[in-house]
Amino acid sequence: MNPLEQILKCGQSIWLDSISRDLINSGELQRLVDEDHLRGLTSNPTIFEQAIAHGNSYDDTLRQSLSANSEQTDKSLFETIAIEDIRMAADVFRPVYDEAGGVDGFVSLEVSPYLAHDTKGSIAEARRLWKAVQRPNLMIKIPATPEGIPAIEQLISEGINVNITLMFSLHHYATVARAYIDGLNRYTPSGGSGNWPVSVASFFVSRIDTAVDKLLEKIGTAEALGLRGKIGIANAKLAYHRFREIFHGNQFSPLLSKGAHIQRPLWGSTGTKNPAYSDVLYIEQLIGPESVNTVPPKTLAAFRDHGQARETIMENVAQAEADIARLKHLSIDLDAITVQLQDDGVDSFIKSYDSLLASIRAKRQEIAPAPA
């Protein structure tokens, strides 16, 4: 059996952390759905920058857009491309969405990273993108910044599906879960039942190891070196434990009885960055029911080839707690690291977004008709 199918049997959905026009038009995305049981897709400014900056797959769309309105901004041209890609990808996943009863088969589109610290701007852009895409299996991505939290609550209260991104700490997770629940408490289902918004809480994993490992190696003791490659997974296991407490406890049961959906944790940043670690580490160690793992194409292929699928997410939780506690003994402040990682994540997406717009600017000059 395909190990990716085995993951699905464990109750976890695998989403693809990638999008491109070629991926969709070539039929490869449909093949991944049919053969690898792919259940959704995520995008971000970095992914779109990589897709648009290389090749000429988007040239025709740019020509048509510029022909219709040559005064469009670079941002407007990007949104035209992104919305078209997201719509097509959402249509590929629509049968998954329907088969899952509207709780899987989603495609995510992120608001501008420049709005990461702008609550009102995030709400306005999310509403606009939601209306523009017009697909029920769309999720709008909002970062879990302090300014993003009230935007998440408001959008959920309006019935807009939200993928909360750039989460690194248990504090981030608790705040995001609270915003989701508060939004649901303000939401009125149309017709009195059904149509509840769906949300995932994207908890980043490998970036934590990248940051913490550097500090552990600097300390250099046997105790410190023994923690390398363990903290990202330990942190995620504790977040999953908290998820179970919140969404399968008394706190959420009144909403669950009304038909509301749990907010599944989603493991992001699951491509292995350290070549000394297994290339499927952040999949194999985080498999469990009612969760999602969004993986880059290379990691997906690696797991298909040699991954081992069994339920692991609730194993060794006590050891995970002990590993996190040992960081304090080593004077490593994980809370400070996660705050910095979120800030760095926003900055990284802004740089990718700027690079993306620069690529579009170069493309529009390249394809512009020569002057008469």
Q: How far apart are CA 146 and CA 149, in angstroms?
A: 6
State the number of CA atoms in the 13 A half-sphere of 323 facing the CB: 23
* Closest to 52 measured CA to CA, from 368, 365, 357, 271: 357
Please indicate whether residue 141 is annotated as part of the active site.
yes
Residue 335 and residue 327 in contact, taking contact as beta carbons nearer than 8 Å: no
Q: What gap in Å lies between CA 261 and CA 247, rounded to an integer?
A: 9
Cα separation, 277 vs 89, whole angstroms: 32
Q: Backbone phi, then psi, for 118, in 5-degree steps?
A: -130, 100
Catalytic residue from among 9, 120, 141, 214? 141
Distance in angstroms (rounded) separating the CA atoms of residues 7 and 18: 19
Helix axes 45-53 and 334-367, enclosed angle (nearest 10): 30
Pairing relationship of beta strands 162-167 and 264-268 according to DSSP bridges: unpaired
Long-range contacts of 69-75 (CB under 8 A, 24+ apart): 74/357, 74/360, 74/361, 74/364, 75/112, 75/357
| Identity of the amino acid at 173 | Y
- Angle formed by the axes of helices 170-186 and 334-367, to 10°? 70
Contacts of 322 (CB under 8 A, 6+ apart): none
Q: How far apart are CA 249 and CA 172, in angstroms?
A: 20
Q: Which of 122, 253, 111 is nearest to 181 (CA)?
A: 253
Rounded to whole angstroms, the Cα distance separating 117 from 142 reads: 10
Locate 157 and state its tokens: 């209260």
Q: How far apart are CA 110 and CA 48, in angstroms?
A: 10
For the annotated catalytic residues, the residue numbers are 141
